[in-house]
């Protein structure tokens, strides 16, 4: 089995925006990774994992903030992952390898900005506020949540050194 054919492309595919669980594009001209953790499971050779990291370091779309000297954190677990098949009566099958990518990127700041703008619009129109107030929440808690999202958004701008 040519594991290099499988490990490197599999690891590289984890950096594609289509494989993210959020709607953000980390490849923008000013976006950088704050942290990146790759968890390899199953049959991966260490030399192939190293080759995939070297390949990623040469990509201009995968950049890290200046204050993160190492960039990548890796974990290798030799036990093959199991996949639950719900259609087959909850049976489990084994696949030979997988890669999980957990990362933090400054492009997530754009996501928080969109959430804040939507929240501001809804709050200004008092949309759905009655649901929260009827459940025992106070309006000051909504204002505090709004301020927390603004602070979080600013932390991502600060991570880039004030760019954005």
At residue 103, does pLDDT exceed 90?
yes
Q: Is 74 left (phi over 0), alpha (psi -120 to 50) or beta?
A: beta
Give the whole-number percent of the chain exceeding pLDDT 90. Answer: 30
* Orientation angle between helical segments 139-159 and 108-124, nearest 10 degrees: 150
Write down the pLDDT at residue 60. 85
At residue 3, does pLDDT exceed 80?
no
Tell me the two tokens of residue 46. 């260490």
Confidence of residue 147 (pLDDT cuts 50, 70, 90): very high
Q: Does pTM surpass 0.85?
A: no
7-50 residue pLDDT tens: 989 999 999 988 888 888 888 778 889 999 999 999 899 999 99
Write down the pLDDT at residue 148. 92
Task: Name the DSSP letter for residue 107.
Answer: T
């Amino acid at each position: 089995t040519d594991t290099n054919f499988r490990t490197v492309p599999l690891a590289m595919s984890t950096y594609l925006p289509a494989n993210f669980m959020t709607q953000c594009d980390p490849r923008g001209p000013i976006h950088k990774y704050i942290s990146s953790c790759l968890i390899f499971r199953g049959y991966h050779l260490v030399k192939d994992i190293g080759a995939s990291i070297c390949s990623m370091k040469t990509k201009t779309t995968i950049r890290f903030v200046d204050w993160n000297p190492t960039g990548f954190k890796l974990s290798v677990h030799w036990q093959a992952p199991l996949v639950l098949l719900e259609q087959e009566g909850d049976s489990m099958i084994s696949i030979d390898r997988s890669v999980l990518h957990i990362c933090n990127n400054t492009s997530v700041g754009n996501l928080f900005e969109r959430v804040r703008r939507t929240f501001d619009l809804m709050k200004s129109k008092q949309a759905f506020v009655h649901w929260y107030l009827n459940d025992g929440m106070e309006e000051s808690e909504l204002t505090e949540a709004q301020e927390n999202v603004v602070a979080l958004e600013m932390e991502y701008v600060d991570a880039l050194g004030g760019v954005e």
